[in-house]
Amino acid sequence: MKVDVAIATYRRPRGLFRLLGGLGRLRFRADEPELRVVVIDNDPAGSAGPVCEDAQRWLELPLLHRVEPRRGIPQARNAAVAAALERAEFLAFIDDDEVPSPQWLDELLRVQAETGADAVAGPCEPIFEDRVPRWIERGRFFEHPRFATGTRVRHAYTHNVLVRTDALAGLGALFDERLALSGGEDSELFERFVARGHAIAWADAALVFEWVPGSRANARWILRRAFRIGTSSTFLDRQRERPLGLPRLLAHGGWCLAKGATLLPLGALRGRAGAMRALRLAVFGAGRLGGLVGIDREEYRVVHGT
């Protein structure tokens, strides 16, 4: 079995080095697949080159380094898909600020074999680079939902997912390059993936860890991200094959904004975490409304971490 592990990277040499080290520690209980690491360097200057050259001396896996000079996350991921279609049966995505657990890929492949799903998604847990306030930990602002292994899910994200390459090829359009630095391109792709009849299964032991720098572990970033998710989700809702109408989008955005504002005093009585949860909902609603007038927050123009 041929499997490519795709990494889209942009000026995070330390993170990329850490991730490649984690891939070198992958372990398999049965036959090891024929692995290849594909690093798509989104920096036109090729700044990931020295890290990849160094890794080729100690990483006991083939490594392909390609430069995608067009700035954008979907541009880089589409380049990874193009490379995988040349040889691989499966493509696993992981981000350059993450490190996999040793059993990560083995679990994704095991669950795929048991379920026959066209994609398998797994969990992501945060590791904070610096000490963070208790309200961030209590609010669980950097945690994601988890499910029992084998559960069919309707969403997947490129921070931890394994996909059949023939299923990707059958989609025609891949990651939407209009969302170059806005985020949400993986949500859009996997929504179409499910709509085409492809199944996504959950592998709860296929764990990856995300390094969260101090520049993200704060109220300002949490709220800016909520606004961005609101704007990008509105864009995606209007691009569907059956797009949501303006009245429904207005109603949902207004409802989230009003509910968040209403819950804010009660949340504040429960501490800062409760207040932030309410405020985050209100800001998300504002983002939903902002997306209707074309506001586009390019969250990924700024690089966090190194």
280/217 Cα distance (integer angstroms): 14
Give the pLDDT confidence score for residue 178 in this predicted structure: 95
- Bridge-based pairing of strands 2-9 and 34-41 is parallel
Give the pLDDT band (50/70/90) at residue 30.
confident
| Predicted pLDDT at 241 | 78
pLDDT band for position 94 (50/70/90)? very high
11 phi-psi bin (left φ>0, alpha ψ -120 to 50, beta other): left
- Sorted by where each begins, the domain ranges of the chain are 2-212, 219-301
Question: What pLDDT shows up at residue 31?
Answer: 87
- Whole-number Å distance between alpha carbons of 41 and 49: 8
pLDDT in tens, 120-146: 999 999 999 999 999 999 999 999 999
pLDDT for 240 equals 84
* Average pLDDT for the chain: 96
**Average of per-residue pLDDT across 254-275:** 95
Q: CA triplet 77, 83, 89: central angle to 5 degrees?
A: 100
Q: Write out the DSSP string of 70-130.
A: S--HHHHHHHHHHHHHTT-SEEEEE-TTEEE-TTHHHHHHHHHHHH--SEEE--EEEEESS
User: What pLDDT band is residue 172 in, cutting at 50, 70 and 90?
Assistant: confident
| 161 has pLDDT over 90 | yes
The CATH T-level fold of domain 2-212 is Spore Coat Polysaccharide Biosynthesis Protein SpsA; Chain A (3.90.550)
> What are the φ/ψ torsions at residue 4 (nearest 5 degrees)?
-100, 140
Q: Is pLDDT at 24 greater than 90 in this prediction?
A: yes
